[in-house]
Amino acid sequence: MSFEGELERIKSEIIANLPPEIIVKKIEFEGPEIAVYSENDDVEAVENSTVLKDLAKTMRKRVVFRWNVDKRKDPAETEDYIRNLVNKDAEIEEILFDHTRGEVIIESGKPGLVIGKKGINLKEIRTNTYWQPKTIRTPPLPSRTIQLIRGMLTKERQTQKDILLQIGKRIHRPALFNNLNIRLTALGGFREVGRSCILMQTRDSSVLLDVGLNVGNPNDKFPYFEVPEFSLRDLDAVIISHSHLDHCGLVPFLYKYGYRGPVYCTLPTRNLATMLQLDFIQICEKEGSPLPYSKRDVKTTVLHTIPLSWGKVTDIAPDIKLTLHNSGHILGSSMVHLHFGKGDYNFVYTGDFKFQKTRLLEKAAVKFPRVESLLIEATYGGPQDRIASRQESEKEFKQILNSTLKRGGKVLIPVLAVGRAQELLIVLEEYIEKGFIDKVPIFIDGLISEATAIHTANPDFLSSDLREKILHQGKNPFLSDYFETVSAQEERLDIIQGGPCIILATSGMLIGGPSVQYLKALAEDAKSALVFVSYQVSGTLGNRIQRGFKEFNYVDPKGRTQLVKINLKVFTLEGFSGHSSRSQISQFLRRIQPRPKTILVNHGEASKCVSLSTMIHKKLRKQTKSPLNLETVLLK
């Protein structure tokens, strides 16, 4: 069947299965969704109908209902109507309109009052405005990144609509081949940590899982895009597991060179990735490094990004469906489940995952509809990676803090802006609140404050305990008075010259940013301490210090190099890591449902990948493999 013929067949099937009372104006393929636009005046008839749900189930496609544009009330009139309808105690902050989806987004301090008893207010809004209302809670901390993205999407709404229509046509094109062959090609992040990039191919489709850069080795910064198997023109989709740069840092690079397909990830991942990509551009400009992409390319990426919720099955190609699941690594991080063909084959990519509940996040998911093969990380997969428990690490952390502060020193904790920073903010707030450590200033420097603001805007992705505290108990640890945000160089000098304190600063691997400035100032102070809580990639300054180096070269803003000796005490607390330990990986593999037949290993030093692969084969009796970069594995 031809391309246009397949689209018409889908439309005809939808119309044939709709009841006569639903008047269809048009049907459009908007990205992965098939949107049915109606002229109905009777909202009740549409809302009470289960036909669309039944249709979506029968067709195994996501079918959504929208009122036609000419039915919707003018946005200004709609906003006035909503503000007059809803109780002023709801604290409505902003009302936004998503013209593409026909949604009116109501941001308020008390969403429950916007919704009304048994949803009466939402029903009234739909009936009288023909806009679909959606409520969100006003975040307690404003985010520049979220405001930037909202403004961009509002300004470019027609561009985004055109993008979705093009993507929708490509997704719903007819499959050309009946026989399903599935290949995995390792473009980066295999037997190494960094530049994660996996190419998944069938005879009909081509998808990339993650497009990261190597933060520790500038000579091997890029994935192997030059392989003959990879073609931007044939690429159907990019799926991002989470927002750390070694997994998402080069997505805009694809758009720079002509890719115009979709990016799929969770909403927090989109926002955090945008923040980190823009910051990466600034760092390159400051250091005089070549820019792999521009701010315009980041904007293009945002316009092509389709945020997904966990557990939502989504068509991304004629023969591939995608479902994201919680991976427990950082805010919005996901395991990627790919369903090939008509139930023929299922593949899960864990990405970076944590199989343990933390103060910040729930532990990784283990239940999937089907799993034939699994690709799992090995960051701490070596036999020597017997990481201390969280309880042991916290006990040691308290001892380090107390001993350092009592002798008049400062505690420098280099952290990634996303993940460990927020976990430690919660921990430190609790320590001071309960009197476990002295009440000293806790300084937050770098991107941490902006990343934390994005966390507060996404409470649904936080752990149940933290969500309960924030939403129902009015206790938000991120708003603690114990934290002081640093925003200027003069403030850093005051901190360095001041008394005992705790400093959380980016970057977490000491490859730039304020953490390196603090280290240079404190390195020779034997009273102070440097505490690593994140994985240190080989080739970074953090990794060298962790391995015992006692000096390093510091390059000042004017390009002058200075040799700095390290006298401060150095500690590593791996129990705070967002990666699973070897024992947690084993627990995950024993509990995953259903059990995969084949397990592939990536994202770890070469020896760790091989060791973990061997251990899984021996103990779990599974077919395993630790591929090399550039290697292709035939899954089916």
Please write the tens of the pLDDT for every residue from 516-569. 999 999 999 999 999 999 889 888 999 999 999 999 988 877 778 889 899 999
The 10s digit of each residue's pLDDT in 562-600 is 898 999 999 999 889 999 999 999 999 999 999 999 999
pLDDT of residue 70: 86
pLDDT of residue 16: 84
Q: Are 364 and 376 in contact (CB under 8 A)?
A: no
pLDDT for the residue numbered 249: 97
Q: Which long-range contacts (CB under 8 A, 24 or more apart) does 156-159 make?
A: 156/303, 157/98, 157/99, 157/100, 159/303
Q: CATH assignment of 84-138?
A: 3.30.300.20
CATH of the domain spanning 149-383+579-634: 3.60.15.10
CA 69 to chain centroid: 33
Three-state secondary structure call for residue 460 = helix
Give the pLDDT band of residue 13 (cuts 50, 70, 90).
confident
Domain spanning 392-576, CATH class: alpha beta
The span from the CA of 465 to the CA of 275, in Å, is 27
Residues 377-400: pLDDT tens digits? 999 999 988 888 888 999 999 999
The domain locations on the chain are 3-70, 84-138, 149-383+579-634, 392-576
Query: Which of 349, 343, 403 has its CA nearest to residue 370?
Result: 343
> Mind listing the pLDDT tens digit for each residue in 60-105?
888 888 888 888 999 999 999 999 999 999 999 999 999 888 999 9
CA-to-CA separations, 146 to 152, 301, 586, 617, in angstroms, rounded: 10, 15, 38, 45
Q: pLDDT value at position 343?
A: 84
Query: What is the Cα 331 distance to its own chain's centre?
Result: 6
Task: For residue 461, give the DSSP letter.
Answer: G
Q: In the prediction, which pLDDT does 323 show?
A: 98
pLDDT at 626 (0 to 100)? 98
Cβ neighbors of 100 (< 8 A, separation 6 or more) are 30, 157, 160, 161, 164
Same fold, 84-138 and 392-576: no
- The yes-or-no verdict on residue 8 having pLDDT over 60 is yes
161-170, 297-306, 555-564: the lowest-pLDDT one: 555-564
To the nearest 10°, report the CA torsion of 275, 276, 277, 278: 50
Q: What is the pLDDT of the chain when averaged over all its residues?
A: 93
pTM exceeds 0.85, yes or no: yes
Residue 251 pLDDT class (50, 70, 90 cuts): very high
Alpha-carbon distance 531 to 572, whole Å?
6
Average pLDDT over residues 191-201: 97
Phi, then psi, of 606 in degrees rounded to 5: -50, -45
Q: What DSSP designation does 102 have?
A: T
Which stretches does DSSP call E strand in 123-262? 132-137, 183-188, 197-201, 206-211, 237-239
For residue 40, is pLDDT > 80? no
Q: Which two tokens stand for residue 631?
A: 């290697």
| Interacting residues of 409 by C-beta distance below 8 A, sequence separation 6+ | 500, 525, 527, 528, 529, 568
Give dist(CA 478, CA 267) in Å, integer: 20
Average of per-residue pLDDT across 349-372? 97
Task: Tell me what pLDDT residue 49 has.
Answer: 60
CB 315 within 8 A of CB 170: no
What confidence score (pLDDT) does residue 25 get? 87
Q: Which of 10-19, 181-190, 459-468 has the lowest mean pLDDT?
A: 10-19
- The single-letter code of the amino acid at 604 is G
Tell me, which fold does domain 3-70 have in CATH? GMP Synthetase; Chain A, domain 3 (3.30.300)
Q: Nearest Cα to 456, choosing from 139, 148, 93, 242? A: 139
Average pLDDT in the 588-613 region?
A: 97
- pLDDT over 90 percentage in the chain: 78
Residue 72's pLDDT is what? Answer: 92
